[in-house]
Amino acid sequence: MMNIKINATITCTVLLLAFSIGCQGSKDLDVKPVTAEPPAEEVSLQKNLPFKFGAAISAGLMKSRAAYRDVVTKEFNSITTENAMKMSFIHPSADTYNWADADFLVDFATQNGKRLHGHTLNWYKNPPAWVTSFQGDSAAWEALLKTHIQTIVSRYKGRVASWDVVNEAFEDNGTLRNSIWVQKLGEDYIARCFQYAHEADPDALLFYNDYGHEYGPTKRTAILNLVTGLKSRGIPIHGIGMQMHTRVNRPDADLAKAIETAAATGLLVHISELDIAVNPDNDKNMVWTAALASQQALKYKNIVKAYNAIPKAQQFGITTWNVSDADSWIPGQYSRPDWPLPFDANYERKPAYQGILDGVK
C-alpha cells in the first residue's frame, strides 16, 4: 500500500508541474489553431463547362469495363445511346423488341442524374431484315413506322429527354436519300416521324441529326431548308444535331460557319457526334506524337469556342461519339491508326481534354 500511495503522489505532482508549465508557455507563445485547407474542386467536363457535355456510350462497355464506366460517371452529364436504340438492335423482328441494353442505359442515366438522348428513331441504314422484306400497302408501311416510333418513345416517356428522330436523310450532294422510307412512304415521311414521336411524348425535345454541315453549303443548305420548313409548318421539331465527325485539317472557318448557320434557325443546336481524326489520309504507319496532340487540342478548343458563342438558350450541348480512343469507330472503319477522342486508350485525359476546357475561357 505504501508504494501505491507514493506512486500516486509522484504522478499527481508530475501532472501538476506539466499543467503549470503548459499554462506559463501559452503566455509566451503565439499559438494559432491549425485548420485544414479546403480540398481543391475536382475538374471535370460536366462541372467546368457552361453547357451539357456528353458521350455516346456502349451498354456492353458500361457493363464490362470499369474504367469506361468510371469516366462516363465522372465526366459527363449527358449520354446518348450509341447503338442500343437503333432499329436493328431494339426491334430485330416484327413482334420482338430487345429492351435490355436500352433499359440499362436509361436506368443508369436516371440513377446518376444524367440527361439521356435517344438515338435514333429512324435511319436509312441497316434496317432489320423484317423491314426490308415487309410486304404491305402504304397504310401498312405507315402503321409499321408509327408503331415502331411510338412503342419506343412511349416506353421511355419522361425518362428520355430528347430524341434524334430522323438521322442522315440526305446524300452529300444535298438530295434526299432514296431510302426504303422514301420509297414506301414518300418524302414527307420525315415530318410524320416527328409528329408520331411528339404524340408519344409531348415533352420530349425532337432533333433532326446529320453529318456534313461543315463540308460546305451544298448539304448544309438542304438540311437547313428541311428543318426550317418543318418549323414553319408547325411540325414539332426543337433542334438540329450536327454530328461533326471532323478532322484536324478542316478549316476553323468551315466549322464556325456550320455552327453559326445552325443557330440561325432559332432551334436548339447539338454537336451530337464529335470526334476529331488526326489521320484523315489513312497513313497505316502513323504514330501518336506531341505535335498531333497539340493540333487536335487546338481544334477541339476552336470548335468549343465557336459553339460557346451562340446564344446560351440554344446550347443543347456537345456530345463526343464514344469515350476513348480505344472505343472509337474510326480505326476499325478505315483500317488505320487514329486517336480522335479526348481520352486515350487507357482512359487518361489527353491534351484535347484541356482544349475543350480552354474553349470556354
Q: Per the residue annotation, which of 75, 82, 214, 273 is the catalytic one?
A: 273
Residues 6+ away with beta carbon under 8 Å from 322: 55, 56, 57, 58, 82, 275, 328, 329, 341
Closest alpha carbon to 80 in 284, 303, 241, 304: 241
Closest alpha carbon to 78 in 256, 217, 239: 239
Q: Per the residue annotation, which of 75, 82, 168, 214 is the catalytic one?
A: 168
CB 321, CB 274: distance < 8 Å: yes
Is 82 one of the annotated active-site residues of the chain? no
Is 41 one of the annotated active-site residues of the chain? no
Q: Mind telling me the catalytic residues? A: 168, 273
